[in-house]
Structure 1
Amino acid sequence: MGRKADLLIVTALAIVTPAQAADRQNISIAPARLGEAVVALGRQTGVSIGMSDQSLAGIATPAVTGRLSVEGALRRLLRGSGATARRIDATTWRIVRARPAPRPTTPAPVPAAPLPDQPAADIIVTASKRDTPLPRYAGMVEALDSNLFSSGEASGGTATLLARVASLSSTHAGAGRNKLFIRAIADSGVAGPTQATTGQYLGDMRLNYAAPDPDLKLYDVGRVEILEGPQGTLYGAGSLGGIIRIMPNAPNLGEFGGQVSAGLSATQHGDPGGDLSATINLPIVAERIALRVVGYGVQDSGYIDDVSRDLNDVNRARTYGGRAALRFAPDENWTIDINGVYQHIEGRDAQYATQSLGRLQRASSVAQPYFSDYLLGNIRIERQWDTLRFVSSTGFVHHDLAESYDATQQDGPPSLFRQRNDVEIFSTENRLVRDLDNGLGWILGASYLQSRSKLRRTLTSYGTAPLQPQVIPGVPMFGGGMPATATGVRNSVKEATLFGEASFEPVKGLIATVGGRLTNSRLSGEALDPIAALSSADLARAEAQADRSETIFLPSFALLTDAITDITLYARYQQGFRPGGLAVDDQRVRRFQNDRASTVEIGFRKGVPGRDTIAISGNLAYTDWRNIQADVTDRIGLPTTANIGDGRIYTAEARMVVRPVARLTLDGSIIYNDSRLTQPAQFLRALSYGGRSLTLPNVANLGGRLAFDYRAPLGDAMRLHLSGSARYVGKSQLGVGPILGRTQGDYIDTSLSASVTRGPVQMSLSLTNLLDSDGNRFSLGTPFDLSSDYYTPLRPRTLRIGIDFAF
């Protein structure tokens, strides 16, 4: 089953006639964790066994064999665990804590990694909001459990997910300022006021809206699930490409513990780096209240040299932050979680280079620093009644992102363009869920979201004369380092939503899922600090167009069959959308409209990764994307937003996970994308020329990944873990049309890591970019110079040594 931040319900399906409590049966259960053991017991006896405290699932259980009653088998499994089994009816049992669990004699790392020979549990897709077993989920999903992340990988944040998931891509502008794309649903690489195409969540709380990836570090995270989109029915606006759901470890109500990790890294061609983290779990009132706190600091070393300013390793970035979670469980049916997150990222300079100057070098007139401040607060309440569950999640996000770009013109004085995006999100969702046997059930919910973003801009010249030549028409250049204000924009949206989804089995072996989301959006926008060149009439007209109310219905349908033993076949149709808003370019403030993506896909799945010897999955998808919103650049180079036309995307992907022996896992995946802008907007037709392909930007046409994972004991007291991967990222284009049509990608990224664990201590060694490949992850340097041969190189070969200590 795995640990989850959500309430854990373990439901075993009856495969024989349900047994009475006193009936004795032949039972054989291997040593495991309690979560896996009760699933095995349920399958062998036909009873249903539930747990209301997710922390119980990780308790180690002994082997249980013999002719026993259900009650006798449970008594043996729970002996010495501090938990007890309560009988609900003839075929239903619930496991609860009887007293605080005893502290283990040998501390285990947090979170504990399963032993190599431990039977694997089924994968539950919790991001479906209905705890759907993977074999009965109609769609492509990547589920990354905590035992896959080392502390070094946790310090990498989103970069770790990019290295593991072939369908996930990024703009690589820098930590905290990247745009993420799933599959081929990508609008552009320029940062503007559009809503993200990929939704990101921490548990049930939305992380982003009209801002880039906050790049939260993955310390003390129990699981990450990536669902390919659209996911409009359950997640609403901004989930065209899909969603990324991070589930941190929940406070443990019965056990004190924690972990400390530290690492030092050395980057070839760069300066040293390092990371430090600490986690502590503190029960305050046994079995009722517990607090869990995580803190961390990371320094990513610089490796870009600026020859113009005679500076080395200018692109160093520092991150510090933490999370705190307070859990209150007044009884076995209620769970209340209060969560807080803070993270600060500070980049000393941009991370792009110039190919014509030599490897890892560029020539800039000014430094281009940036920072990201991220603050989140959330309260989640859950109530359980056997198969019925109520969940309420309410929270607030404040995200402040400041960026800067070199705006120096040829033969002009050094100039710097600054852009600051201040985003606030309030959201609440309340849903009622009924989880029936094996993925059947329904969900009904209502949500409200309010987002406000303020994008402010300034332009500064460092020339000595009091007045300098204008870079942006209408924006004066004062000289002497005095900033001049350029036109900004404010956008706000208020969304009220009703949504529902139900899965039922009209005939045996065929599951139908029907859902829909009805959203009313109230949109408004206005120009901030408009320059004199913008007429009052034009501003009033644009703002009047932006103030509007829209109602959108997003349907979804899916069919799935598992009538063929160990094989799942499915077909799915779903839609997603993004609301419009206001954008500003060098001369105008204008409205951009909604866009909508509709996807039809078919796929198959055989086996479950980590459980079966061979697990294979594949998917074919077609997406019709109308009125595409994209952040583009105006003729001066300023980021702005426009509807660039209609497009279509074909996607084919496949994955195979093989376990030739219990200790070794081999993982291979491949994805092919064919994306085209079939009906370009008029302004793009004017820029284009005959024979040029208008492909959608920033997603490679071909990608793939090969990886291995090996775990084995070293004697009686130690464990060895070896892993390695190679990921190929094919060619893509920076943007749409000839101006932004530069090629990027076509590189291989590699990594290798090893760790040895003895009791509570783990020593690790990792090496990334083994081949010291230069690569080109992103072809944008500064938008004020689109003619230079800028590129964003891979981080050079980096060695990290780390130590983790659990208590």
Structure 2
Amino acid sequence: MHKNATRKNSFRRGRPLYLAILAVLGSPHPGALAQDPRPRPVVSTEPVETVVVTAQRRREPAREVPLSADVVRGEYLERSGYQSLADLAALLPGVNYNETGSGSGQSQVTMRGISTGAQVGATVSMYIDDVPFGSSSGYAGGGSSALDLGLFDLAAAEVLRGPQGTLYGAGAMGGLIKYVAAEPDPAERLANITTELSGSRNGKLSHVARAVLNLPLQDGKAALRATLYQREEGGLVRDNNHGNRIVDGAKIDGARVALLLTPAKNLSLRLTALSQKQQRDGSSTEDVSLASGEPIDGRATKRLFLSEPVKINNELVSLAVKADLNWASLDAISGWQRSRNDGRADPSALYLPYLAPLGINAAGYGLDYSFLTRKFTQELRLTSPRSRSLEWLVGAFYTKEEGYKSQYLQAYNQQLQAVPPLLADARFPSSFRELAAFGTATYFINEHTDMTLGVRRSRNNQQLEQRFDGLFAPAPQPAADSTEDVTTWMATARWRPAAGQALYLRAASGYRPGGPLPVVRNPINGEPLNQSSYASDSLWSYEAGWKGDLLPGKVSAELALYQINWKDMQVFTAYAGFSGIGNAGRARSRGIEATLRARPIEGVRIAAALSLINAELQDDNPSLGGKAGERLPDTARVAGALQVERDFSIDGKHGYLGASLRYTGERWNSFQQSRSMLPYRLPAYTVLDLRGGLEFGSSNLGFFLRNVFDQRGQTSADTSLSTLGAPARVNLVPPRTLGVQVSYAFY
């Protein structure tokens, strides 16, 4: 086993950073700038009571929520040039984004260290408003297809840490990310366009164009909101095998249309249609030596035999009906979604040396893959009115999902033509059904103390078929099915010792669904050689927290300590000579999360966050190649962020300046004895971003400068092709990038 050399993260640029922050905070000449009273939100830096979240399926102030919840405002994301899920995750210490394959769409998000590296299914649930998006099954790419939605025209992105199984169900065992779209406004007419041009060091220019229209159809009763956007990434990674051409360019086209109807004071309907199409030439990975951690052929370079294009289409139609029944409010949310991911990977570096001794000699190999999910969801909720004695919520949830996964491994000659033999053609049709009932109740013991209990009972039914062809095809397998009942729990106790102060204790559980396994039988006696299904894995989280004001109206803070006990972890394993999914062992994650928000003077906002995580295996796990006490993959022990923003005015024109500083500690991409994913150490890195802007009547001019000091931060590493000597494929923080934004409001 090789370890890449430790890279020193010297930060002798600390003096320029100090000066940059001083430039944001410092007072300019009093005759040149006057403070503008209008608030310009950054990441949750408004006074805490004005930051609203829907974490407990109610709109309520963040300081009233007894769990760790981050709210990132849509305006902040747009004007800082943050446009993707990777950008969002990078802002949140303790939230990890990992690209697991070729191109966007092959990615996963984890929180609080709940990761085994190669995920069977998602541990963080993705929502668009109140609709869960993506596969719940382990057979339709749910573990490697985190929803990367364009961060345009969002009211906010809400991030809930820790298991949310009671209110959000399967797959939310590590946490939840919710994209909250800006709603149609029946009282405001709005039309604006924004263009953005940016360029990275040694890369091609990128651009963004977006338009937003909000049109009242009937005053106070109906409105239409439409968003169109296009993002083209020029790319910067070059393929040394094909004339140094750039191979990671991308184009993303998206549209969202929402119609809001309020035919009566106590009734509203919102119909939303969303579509996003991504086309990527290939992944933004660099070929890196496992031993040294340095690029093989230079920065932002790789060597490919075949190109690795990816296409991802996501579509969603949802209907949300809300009715005030006086004694309760009724929410009915229906969602119809379709997600397709088609791509090609170049595994030549693995298969060339592997197959040559078997007499199979080809110039290279290509693996075409596809994931397809069609899903319907329906949720009904009854929520009691606000009360100081008893509040309750009850609901039911149903989902029907049809999934399809395919893999096609083919040999190619030097002319990039497919040649025999066909190595593998594998197809996996699957289905997933789930029905759940859930409820919570909060009892207020007195004006200072309350307790909440919650429970969710779920039953899922799954079916799986396997169809094989080609040289590597196993014997035909019969269809498999499974049924599973799961109960998740939640309990919190909250005490408010004084105004603006709250202490809480929280215990909550979460799970991922299990699933069917084709039974492999002994050819001699017909006895089964494996289990007919793998079980759900589950965890319990125990959290103690405090939220409150340090200086009322100026400084507030939050602190959370947690321990998560994870058992029956779902892992990829092997049985009877076949690869599959199984359950193995336990893990534990302990951590501390702290945030600080301040308004030291009018027009200045500061937000700081810190995450400390100790996530490790508790049992030896041969399937993962890990030993008891070993750290879980892709998790930094220390991560932090600091964001500062200042408003000002020049001759009556509003302006702002801001800075974001992010630190991520070292991580390992896998376990030390892993046979399928060789271990690679990802060094710690620090990134500074700057932004600013000025309003000119109906126009706005802004800029952003990301990765000011051009740090070579390594965010994730794929070593699945490295077992026979191939380099690691490492994702990097984009190099120094300068962007300019221009927007114009027609009215």
Is TM-score (shorter-chain normalized) higher than 0.5?
yes
| Letter aligned with residue 399 of structure 2 | L
* Alignment check: 8 A CA contact 1:463 1:481 kept: no
Question: Which residue of the partner structure matches residue 570 of structure 1?
Answer: 504
AA paired with 2:71?
A: A
Contact 1:773–1:796, Cα closer than 8 Å, also in 2: yes
Residue 801 of structure 1: aligned partner: 740
What stretches of structure 1 of length at least 5 have no aligned partner? 1-110, 467-477
Partner of 2:538: 596
2:86 matched to 1:159? yes
Residue 395 (structure 1) aligns with:
335
Once the two structures are TM-superposed, the CA of residue 449 in structure 1 deviates from its matched residue by 1.1
**1:357-396 pair list within 5 angstroms:** 357-386=297-326, 388-396=328-336
Question: Where does 1:647-666 land on structure 2 (aligned, <5 Å)?
Answer: 647-666=587-606
Is 1:188–2:117 an aligned residue pair?
Answer: yes
Cα distance between partner residues in 2 of 1:243 and 1:128: 12
- 2:395 is aligned with 1:456: no
Query: Which range moved further: 513-522 or 784-793?
Result: 784-793
1:410-425 alignment to 2 at 5 Å?
410=353, 412-425=362-375
CA separation of 1:631 and 1:733: change in aligned 2, threshold 3 A: farther
**Map of 1:296 onto structure 2:** 229
2:77 to 141, 146, 149: 149
Output one character per residue of 1:469-506: Cα deviation in whole Å (capped at 9) or x when no partner.
Answer: xxxxxxxxx94388654323233221111100011212
TM value normalised by structure 2: 0.84
Q: Secondary structure at the match of 1:774?
A: coil
**Structure-2 separation of matches of 1:785 and 1:675:** 26
How many residue pairs end up in the alignment?
A: 670
Contact 2:425 2:473 in 1 (8 A): no
Report the equivalent of 2:525: none
Distance 1:118 1:680 in 2: 46
Structure 1 residue 583 displacement after superposition: 6.9
Is the 8 Å Cα contact of residues 94 and 613 (structure 2) preserved in structure 1?
no
Matches within 5 A, 1:88-103: none
Residue 287 of structure 1: which of 216, 220, 235 is its match? 220
Partner Cα distance (2:553, 2:469) in 1? 61
Q: Match of 1:778, SS?
A: strand
CA distance in 1, matches of 2:680, 2:575: 17
Is residue 2:693 matched to residue 1:743?
no
Aligned residue in 2 for 1:613: 554
Q: 1:248 to 1:757 in 2, by over 3 A?
A: same
- d(CA) in 2 for partners of 1:577 and 1:514? 18
Among candidates 617, 630, 653, match of residue 677 of structure 1: 617
Amino acid at match of 1:186: S
Which residue number corresponds to residue 668 of structure 2? 733
Q: Aligned AA for 1:773?
A: Q
CA positional deviation for 1:516: 0.3
Name the larger-Rg structure: 1
Q: What is the SS of the residue equivalent to 2:167?
A: helix
Q: Is the 8 A contact 2:238 2:302 kept in 1?
A: yes
Cα distance 1:278–1:643, how it changes in 2: closer, same or farther (>3 A)?
same
Name the aligned partner's letter for residue 675 of structure 1: A
The structure-2 alpha-carbon separation of the partners of 1:122 and 1:298, relative to structure 1 and needing over 3 Å to count, comes to same
- 1:214 equivalent to 2:124? Answer no
Tell which deviates more after alignment, 738-747 or 133-142: 738-747
- 1:714 offset after TM fit, Å? 2.2
Aligned residues of 1:130 and 1:441 also touching (Cα < 8 A):
no
Give the secondary-structure state (helix, strand or coil) at the position aligned to 1:153.
coil
Cα distance per residue 1:443-489 (max 9 Å; x no partner): 110010122221100012212699xxxxxxxxxxx943886543232
Question: What is the CA-CA distance between 1:764 and the residue it aligns to?
Answer: 0.5
TM-score (norm. length: structure 1): 0.78
Q: Partner of 2:161 in structure 1?
A: 228
Secondary structure of 1:779's partner? strand
**Residue 711 of structure 1: which of 647, 652, 659 is its match?**
647
Name the SS for the 1:436 alignment partner. coil
Please say if 1:556 is aligned against 2:490.
yes
**Alpha carbon RMSD of aligned pairs, Å?**
3.2
Match of 2:59 among 123, 131, 138: 131
Task: Provide the residue aligned with 1:405 in structure 2.
Answer: 345
**2:296 is paired with a residue of what secondary structure?**
helix
User: Aligned equivalents of 1:141 and 1:527: distance in 2?
Assistant: 41
Counterpart of 1:804, as a letter, is: S
Higher mean alpha-carbon deviation, 179-188 vs 111-120, is at 111-120
Counterparts of 2:384 and 2:595, CA distance in 1: 31
Contact 1:730 1:745 in 2 (8 A): yes
Q: Percent identity between the aligned chains?
A: 20
Contact 1:209 1:238 in 2 (8 A): no
Paired residues of 1:447 and 1:497 also in contact (CA < 8 A): yes
Structure 2, unpaired ranges of 5+: 1-37, 137-141, 288-294, 357-361, 522-528
Higher relative contact order (CA 8 A, sep 6+): 2
CA distance in 1, matches of 2:169, 2:115: 17
Structure 2 CA distance for partners of 1:712 and 1:581, relative to 1, 3 Å: same
**Which of 689, 692, 696 is equivalent to 2:632?**
696
Equivalent in the alignment of 2:11? none
Cα shift at 1:643: 2.9
Find the residue that maps to 2:666 and give its secondary structure: strand
Are the counterparts in 1 of residues 428 and 464 from structure 2 also a CA contact under 8 Å? yes
Report how far residue 729 of structure 1 moved.
1.2
Q: Which moved more, 1:438-447 or 1:527-536?
A: 527-536
Counterpart position of 2:716: 778
Deviations 1:551-575 (A, max 9, x none): 1111110001112332211000001
Specify whether residues 745 and 381 from structure 1 end up closer, same or farther in structure 2 by C-alpha distance, changes over 3 A only. Answer: farther
CA 1:307/1:607 → structure 2, altered by over 3 Å: closer, same or farther? same
Change (3 A) 1:648 1:263: same
Q: Which residue of 1 aligns with 2:570?
A: 629
CA distance in 2, matches of 1:754, 1:464: 51
1:223-268 CA-partner distances (Å, limit 9, x unpaired): 2211112001100000011111111111112332122100111110
The range that moved more, 653-662 or 335-344, is 653-662
Alpha-carbon distance change, 601 to 719 in structure 1, aligned in 2, over 3 angstroms: same
How is 1:6-17 mapped onto 2 (pairs within 5 angstroms)? none
Shift of 1:130: 2.1
Partner Cα distance (2:234, 2:608) in 1: 31
Give how far 1:386 is off.
4.8
